[in-house]
Amino acid sequence: MGVKSEIITSDIKANKKKSFIKRYFGQFDLQMMVIPGLLFIFIFNYIPMYGVIMAFQDYDIFEGMMGSSWAGLEHFKMFFSDPRFLEIMRNTFVISGLKILICFPAPIMLALMLNEVKNMAFKRTVQTITYLPHFLSWVIVAGFTMSILSTDNGSLNIVLEKIGLIDGSISFLAIPEYFWTIIVSTNLWKSIGFASIVYIAAIAGVDQQLYEAAALDGASRFKQIFLITIPSIMPIIVIFFILEVGNLLNAGFEDLLILGDSAILRSVSDVIDTYVYRVGIGSGRYSYATAIGLFKALISVGLLTLANYIARRNGNSLW
């Protein structure tokens, strides 16, 4: 019996191998379309991982990675003992958390509202207006923001003065208490339209017969949203939420670097990425910067795994 079971097992494995090869060459044209993307990811995402060895060295650009002296965990200890460590981590988690809390559900709400619009001309106009900011660079968006918040003919100050809420102009970008609101609002304006595309596409795939049956049962449009639309697109929402949690330590870079570059805002604007750029790369401390980047990557992987584990228990997950 043992010999027979081994023969059967080997036959199954051989058949699986043959079927895999057969499927591969049967989809050869599709595989050729995937291969360039895989090569791109391998070359630019996996090969550079060799560079993380710098985090454990006192890297010297003239000696290279092979000639630089070994430092062990020294750079990690330096970061954890930095007087600004807690402040940087706080800013990273707070700004990223606010972006998830506000900027994540906003595209879903926009998609749900646009789905209820029957006037196609108005719907396309709104979509175009909300999509456009995504294609503007942060330099241009920051310029708009600075112009709007300017004390010299800034539109926000003018409006607030006209309606009597303030007596004089306020330098919003010089007051730390306002910075988180400004950065999250700017990100919301820039991303809400483009981020809603995937949800609009998911809603378009919902079976229309479900809405017809619900209408016959007397369900209002509001009830149909909660009972049909949202449950139907929930797997997409969960997947994107898992990815957002995995990116919790990516609080932003260009937006914070441009809008929060002032020294007076440094206490509320400096996050891991801007700190690495300013202290690590800007000062030539490449090993220190790599160590912080590796620390960030490990925490992000842990958060992603945890979020996926929780989602999997509810029936939706990435893996």
DSSP output for 37-74: HHHHHIIIIIGGGGGGGGGGEE--TTTHHHHSEE-TTH
Stated pTM of the model: 0.85
Nearest C-alpha neighbor of 255 from the set 149, 185, 183: 183
Q: Any long-range contacts for 89-94 (C-beta under 8 Å, 24+ apart)?
A: 89/272, 91/251, 91/268, 91/269, 91/270, 91/271, 92/249, 92/251, 92/271, 92/272, 93/248, 93/249, 93/251, 94/180
Q: What is the pLDDT of residue 227?
A: 92
For the chain, domains (ranges, CATH) are 2-72 (no CATH), 82-313 (1.10.3720.10)
Task: State residue 14's pLDDT score.
Answer: 52
Q: What is the rounded distance in angstroms from the CA atom of residue 9 to the CA atom of residue 12?
A: 5
pLDDT of residue 86: 95
CA atoms within 13 A on the CB side of 29: 0
In this prediction, residue 228 carries a pLDDT of 94
- String of b and e for 237-249 (b: at least 16 CB within 10 Å)? bbbbbbebbbebb
pLDDT digit string (tens) for the chain, length 319 residues: 554 455 545 545 555 555 777 777 778 788 888 889 999 999 998 898 888 899 999 998 888 888 889 999 999 999 999 999 999 999 999 999 999 999 999 999 999 999 999 899 999 999 999 999 999 999 999 999 999 999 888 899 999 999 988 888 899 999 999 999 999 999 999 999 999 999 999 999 999 999 999 999 888 989 999 999 999 999 999 999 998 998 999 998 999 999 998 889 999 999 999 999 988 878 888 999 999 999 999 999 999 898 888 888 777 777 7
pLDDT of residue 283: 85
Contact (Cβ atoms closer than 8 angstroms) between residue 107 and residue 196: yes
